[in-house]
């Protein structure tokens, strides 16, 4: 857990309920009304998806909903921004996978 | 200058500065054409990150080029939407 439990300005962080959610099959704990990106970061997960074509790992970047780098699949709804979605009870989150690029390979082979 | 070749200008499509420079110099193209050739600016973020650097690269490579007939601008929808929200029948 890498949360700041006792922030000099924001104060203590111990009166919030823990909410279980699953990410890629494993269950993790998040605090109440915490975003998916923050909850995963607190659990030590920084790679939210991999690039659809080249597979390079990607994670949270702007954290305010512009860059779309943190898009994950939440309850079968794809391309949901993890940095803007609040964790709910028993949320099922899957990370982004690499997509096949069949046509591009064919073009390159010609 | 060669150490900058690997700088990724377009994060969504992973187009590096080197690719953009060579394409711009080889084809002497406008910002829109370089977008079409290298896909820089066509990514999921809608060109937010690399639209301005693309214009700068073109101004740098071709100082005299005009803005071109169709400038690089945000295209609707400005946020990604699923087909469901656009066309779902929920009557």
In a domain, A84, yes or no: yes
Q: What integer is the mean pLDDT of B58-83?
A: 76
Q: What is the pLDDT of residue A27?
A: 94
Residue B80 touches partner A, C-beta closer than 8 Å? yes
Lowest mean pLDDT among A13-17, A21-25, A95-99, B60-64: B60-64
State the Cα angle at B19 between B17 and B20, rounded to 5°: 65
**pLDDT confidence bin for A60, thresholds 50/70/90:** very high
In a domain, A48, yes or no: yes
| Number of domains making up chain A | 1
Q: How far apart are CA B28 and CA B36, in angstroms?
A: 13
**Shortest Cα distance from B35 to chain A (angstroms)?**
17
Q: What is the pLDDT of residue A2?
A: 78
Cross-chain Cβ contact B45/A68 below 8 Å? yes
Range of the domain at A85: 6-109
Residue A99 touches partner B, C-beta closer than 8 Å? no
In a domain, A34, yes or no: yes
Contacts of B44 in chain A (CB under 8 A): 68, 71, 79
Q: What is the CATH number of the domain that holds A62?
A: 3.10.20.440
In a domain, A1, yes or no: no
Residue in chain B lying closest to A62 (CA): B49
Q: Where are the domains of chain B?
A: 2-90
* pLDDT(B1) > 60: no
* pLDDT(A61) > 70: yes
| Cα B24 to chain centroid, rounded | 12
pTM: 0.80
Q: What is the pLDDT of residue A87?
A: 93
ipTM over 0.85: no
* pLDDT(B8) > 80: yes
Q: What is the pLDDT of residue B2?
A: 66
Q: How far apart are CA B85 and CA A89, in angstroms?
A: 25
* CB burial of residue A108 (10 Å; 0-12, 13-18, 19+): exposed
């Amino acid at each position: 857990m890498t949360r700041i439990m006792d922030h000099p300005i924001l104060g203590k962080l111990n009166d919030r309920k823990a909410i279980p959610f699953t990410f890629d099959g494993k269950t993790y704990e998040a605090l109440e009304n915490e975003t998916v990106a923050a909850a995963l970061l607190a659990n030590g997960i920084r790679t939210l998806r991999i690039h659809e074509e080249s597979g390079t790992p990607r994670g949270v970047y702007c954290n305010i909903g512009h860059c779309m780098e943190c898009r994950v699949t939440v309850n079968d709804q794809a391309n949901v921004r993890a940095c803007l979605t609040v964790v709910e009870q028993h949320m099922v989150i899957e990370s982004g996978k690499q997509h096949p690029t069949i046509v591009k390979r064919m073009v390159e082979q010609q | 200058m060669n150490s900058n070749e690997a700088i990724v200008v377009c994060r969504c499509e992973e187009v590096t500065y080197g690719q953009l420079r060579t394409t711009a110099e080889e084809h002497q193209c406008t910002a829109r054409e370089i977008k079409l050739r290298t896909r820089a600016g066509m990514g999921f973020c809608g060109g937010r990150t690399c639209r301005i650097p693309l214009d700068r690269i073109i101004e740098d490579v071709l100082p005299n080029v005009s803005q071109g007939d169709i400038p690089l601008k945000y295209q609707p929808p400005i946020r990604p939407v699923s087909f469901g929200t656009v066309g779902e029948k929920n009557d």
